[in-house]
Structure 1
Amino acid sequence: MGTWGIGSFENDDAADFMIDVLDSGDLALVHEALDNVLTSTEYVEASDAVLAIVAAEIVAAAAGRPTLAAQQQDGLAAWLARIRPTITAGIATQARQALTRLLGDHSELRDLWEETDDIHAWRAVVTELRHQLDA
């Protein structure tokens, strides 16, 4: 995984996922990314975790509570305006649950960040995103 920083969109997998989402006409990829984390019965792979974080960013932005990172993401606001997705309580709950799972045990991404000096900053980014979904 090519990582540029601690932010939700600051790695290669996230950038590729955003391109795919912006090329789509609905939330199917967002649902899939969240489902992959929530239905995993074992260790959540880092690549799945990264996509779930971006999916949660999209859910928060579509619900009218974008993080600063989402506000700065090229094309996201225009895509949301064009697609006008409906954000149900269910998908917001799934996004929160996925983020909680990524912060807990059995998360490769969390384990990878724990090997760095940036674990606290990364955890703060994910926690703040989870709070955006609570509003």
Structure 2
Amino acid sequence: MGTWDVGPFDNDTAADWCGGFDDAAPDARRGLVRNTLARAAEATDYLDADVGDNAIAAAALVAAQCPGGEPAHPHYGPKQPAPDLTGLRTLALRALDRVLTEPSELLELWAESDDAPWHTTINGLRSTLTPQLPQNRPA
């Protein structure tokens, strides 16, 4: 089926990754998310779409635990609980930045279509993952 929508879990690759997350031992899930994000964030050559799709799904799990984060998709996201992933915010941002930086297959593929909704999804994740500075309150 491939890709059916712009959400972080709306493609076969991410759905398969979520299945692997569910199958992983509870104490291995954080490492799986971290390794998935690092694989994308540290890529220096062409970033394959599969690596990018997995990184977006992993970043969405991190974002789900941040203030304003949306829960994982109830049908396509993981069914098993995620451990505390909030310490991976910076790595998740780096992974998403890499997905949005050439050479990136996902960036190329979405450029061939109306990519505005996809960019909106990715930028929404980035916004949620970016720590907000406390605002000064008047005395």
TM-score, length basis structure 2: 0.81
Q: Which residue of 1 aligns with 2:95?
A: 98
- What is the CA–CA distance in structure 2 between the aligned matches of 1:78 and 1:35, rounded to whole Å? 22
Query: 4+ residue stretches of structure 1 with deviation over 2 A?
Result: 62-68, 72-78, 84-87
Q: Which residue of 1 aligns with 2:16?
A: 16
Q: Which residue of 2 aligns with 1:85?
A: 84
The verdict on how the C-alpha distance between 1:23 and 1:63 changes in structure 2, with shifts beyond 3 A counting, is farther
Say if 2:30 and 2:85, in contact at 8 Å, map to a contact too: no
Q: Deviations over 1:89-109 (max 9, x none)?
A: xx2101011111111221110
Q: Which has the larger radius of gyration?
A: 2
| Offset, 1:76 | 4.4
Say if 2:45 and 2:103, in contact at 8 Å, map to a contact too: yes
| Offset, 1:67 | 2.2
- What is the CA–CA distance in structure 2 between the aligned matches of 1:78 and 1:12, rounded to whole Å? 18
- What is the CA–CA distance in structure 2 between the aligned matches of 1:86 and 1:55, rounded to whole Å? 10
Q: How many pairs were matched up?
A: 127
Task: Give the counterpart of 1:44 among 28, 44, 47.
Answer: 47
Alignment of 1:1-135 (within 5 A): 2-24=2-24, 25=26, 26-63=29-66, 65-67=68-70, 70=72, 72-74=73-75, 76=78, 79-80=81-82, 84-88=83-87, 91-117=88-114, 119-135=115-131
- Percent of aligned positions that are identical: 35
Return the structure number with greater helix share: 1
RMSD (CA atoms) = 2.0
| Offset, 1:63 | 3.6
TM-score, length basis structure 1: 0.83
